[in-house]
C-alpha cells in the first residue's frame, strides 16, 4: 500500500527562479533563504519519495477569472511548464502519475468534493519553483507528480476548514492506493504578502510563525479562521496559506517537525519552508533533526 512519508510547505515566489537562473544562491540577499533548504535535501535523499502531491494555486495559466474552479486535479501523464516569461525555464516536462490522480479524484468525488478533472494541464511557478528548491539542478525531479489546484484568486475563496477537509480526503485516498509507493505531500505559496493596494508590502511575521507552529501541533486551530480572516492577517496573496493547510490535512498520522526556516523579505514576501514527517515513518529511516 502507498505510504505518506511527510509534508513540506514551501514558498513559490517567481523571483526565486530568476535567482536560480543567475546563480545567486550565495548572494548575501539570497543565501539565508537558499540555505534554509539544505536539511530538506538531506531528508529527501534518505526517504526517497516516489510521488509528490502538490497543492498550489494557478496564476491564470489554466483558469482565469471568468472560469475559476474551487479545486482542480491534474490527471495527465506529464505536465509542461508555462509561465510569465521570466525567471528559470524548465525545458523538461514533469512526470505525472495518472493512476494515482484518478484514484484521488474518484475518492474526492465519493467524499462529495466537486473537483474539476484536468486530463491536460500546464504548470506555472507555483508548482515548479518548490520542486526546483527541493531537487536543485538542471534535471527533472526524480518523482512523479499529482497537481491539485486550490482557488486563492477569485472570491469567494474556500475556507481553511474546507481546504483542511480536502487534504484529509486526499490523505485517505493515498493510503488506500494499492501500489507500494512513498508519497510526499507539498503545499506551496506565501507566507504573508500583499502585492497591490494600500497594504502593498504587508508582512505579518507573528502570524506567519504562529501558523507554522500550529501546522505542526494543532492544525485544527487554523480552521477556525475564515478566508477573509486570512486576507486581513496575511494579506490578499497571503491566502496561499490555504495550500499549506490542505497539505497538512493530508498527513494522517502523528506529525513531527524535522526542519523549518523563515526569511524576509523575498520580493516583498515572507518566505518559508516547513518539513514535517509522520511518526510511523520516522522509525523506518533514522534522520537527525536540524537544529
pLDDT tens digits for 247-273?
Answer: 999 999 889 999 999 999 888 899 999
pTM of the complete model: 0.93
Instruction: Classify residue 64: in a domain, yes or no.
Output: yes
Instruction: Classify residue 288: in a domain, yes or no.
Output: no
Positions marked catalytic: 125, 193
Q: Which residues contact 45 (CB under 8 A, 6 or more apart)?
A: none
Q: In the predicted model, what is the mean pLDDT of residues 183-197?
A: 94
Instruction: Classify residue 57: in a domain, yes or no.
Output: yes
Cell of 21: 537562473
Q: How far apart are CA 241 and CA 250, in angstroms?
A: 15
The angle subtended at Cα 66 by Cα 102 and Cα 74, nearest 5°, is 15
Instruction: Classify residue 117: in a domain, yes or no.
Output: yes
Domain containing 122 equals 3-282
Q: Residue 197 pLDDT > 80, yes or no?
A: yes
SS3 283: coil
Instruction: Classify residue 58: in a domain, yes or no.
Output: yes
Instruction: Classify residue 263: in a domain, yes or no.
Output: yes
Number of structural domains, the chain? 1
Q: How far apart are CA 159 and CA 242, in angstroms?
A: 8
Strands (E), the chain: 3-10, 51-56, 71-74, 78-81, 94-95, 116-118, 122-123, 144-150, 182-188, 255-266, 269-278
Instruction: Classify residue 287: in a domain, yes or no.
Output: no
Amino acid at each position: 500500500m502507498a505510504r505518506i512519508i511527510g509534508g513540506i510547505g514551501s514558498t513559490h515566489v517567481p523571483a526565486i527562479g530568476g535567482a536560480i537562473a543567475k546563480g545567486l544562491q550565495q548572494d548575501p540577499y539570497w543565501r539565508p533563504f537558499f540555505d534554509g533548504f539544505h536539511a530538506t535535501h538531506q531528508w529527501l535523499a534518505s526517504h526517497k519519495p516516489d510521488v509528490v502531491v502538490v497543492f498550489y494555486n494557478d496564476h491564470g495559466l489554466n483558469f482565469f477569472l471568468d472560469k475559476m474552479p474551487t479545486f482542480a486535479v491534474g490527471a495527465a501523464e506529464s505536465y509542461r511548464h508555462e509561465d510569465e516569461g521570466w525567471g528559470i525555464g524548465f525545458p523538461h516536462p514533469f512526470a505525472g502519475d495518472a493512476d494515482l490522480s484518478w484514484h484521488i479524484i474518484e475518492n474526492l468525488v465519493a467524499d462529495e468534493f466537486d473537483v474539476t478533472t484536468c486530463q491536460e494541464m500546464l504548470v506555472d511557478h507555483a508548482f515548479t519553483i518548490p520542486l526546483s528548491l527541493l531537487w536543485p539542478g538542471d534535471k527533472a525531479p526524480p518523482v512523479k507528480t499529482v497537481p491539485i489546484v486550490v482557488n486563492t484568486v477569485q472570491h469567494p475563496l474556500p475556507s481553511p476548514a474546507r481546504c483542511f477537509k480536502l487534504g484529509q480526503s486526499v490523505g485517505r485516498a493515498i493510503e488506500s492506493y494499492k501500489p507500494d509507493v512513498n508519497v510526499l505531500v507539498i503545499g506551496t505559496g506565501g507566507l504573508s504578502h500583499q502585492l497591490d493596494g494600500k497594504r502593498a508590502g504587508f508582512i505579518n511575521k507573528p502570524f506567519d510563525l504562529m501558523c507554522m507552529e500550529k501546522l505542526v501541533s494543532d492544525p485544527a486551530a487554523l480552521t477556525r479562521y475564515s478566508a477573509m480572516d486570512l486576507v486581513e492577517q496575511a494579506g490578499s496573496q497571503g491566502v496561499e496559506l490555504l495550500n499549506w493547510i490542505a497539505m497538512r490535512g493530508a498527513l494522517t498520522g502523528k506529525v513531527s517537525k524535522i526542519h523549518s526556516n523563515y526569511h524576509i523579505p523575498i520580493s516583498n514576501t515572507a518566505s518559508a519552508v516547513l518539513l514535517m514527517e509522520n511518526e510511523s515513518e520516522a522509525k523506518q529511516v533514522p534522520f537527525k533533526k536540524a537544529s
